[in-house]
Amino acid sequence: MLVSRRWLEEFLRRPLALDDLSERLTMLGAAVEGVEPLFAELSELVVGQVEAVDPHPDADRLRLCVVNDGGSERVAVVCGAPNVRAGAKYPFARVGAVLPGGLAIAKRKIRGEVSHGMLCSARELGLGDDHEGIMELDTPKPPGTPLLDVLGVRDDRIE
């Protein structure tokens, strides 16, 4: 049987550590075979806030963005989404992250400009079919906040 940890916690008076929850379930006759984090493929993504947007000097449909990803320095990102705008927050994949489809994010030169990450659409994250633009986040959370926390999907699957 597969159950969500968050769902189980709705029936508890107080949250338990995962080890304690597993032990209690086993004592009740429901042996825990394993635990897997849900949406693990999104665990490397954070909230990125676009601070500036300028036209790309060598491409009509690309823009150069300055992104605050919660780190000590702002990062330059080349973006082709028509809805990117300064001040907005989006899911951001830093260099080294791997997206759900297996795309590894690396520092890349795009039409002569270096991009240090990627602002993501819902489709690229496996969260929907919308690929018309990047996924805008309506959140008061600061840049660098894990995307799982903003979306409210941090959970474990208990077997």
Span 59-101, pLDDT tens digits: 999 999 999 999 999 999 999 999 999 999 999 999 999 999 8
Residue 115 near residue 76, CB atoms below 8 Å: yes
**Conformational region of residue 75, where left means phi above 0, alpha means psi within -120 to 50, and beta covers everything else:** beta
Rounded mean pLDDT, 134-141? 96
Q: pLDDT value at position 91?
A: 97
Q: What pLDDT was estimated at residue 144?
A: 97
* Domain range list for the chain: 3-33, 41-149
User: pLDDT-based confidence at 148, cuts 50/70/90?
Assistant: very high
Average model confidence (pLDDT) for the chain? 90
pTM of the model: 0.82
> What kind of fold does domain 41-149 have according to CATH?
OB fold (Dihydrolipoamide Acetyltransferase, E2P) (2.40.50)
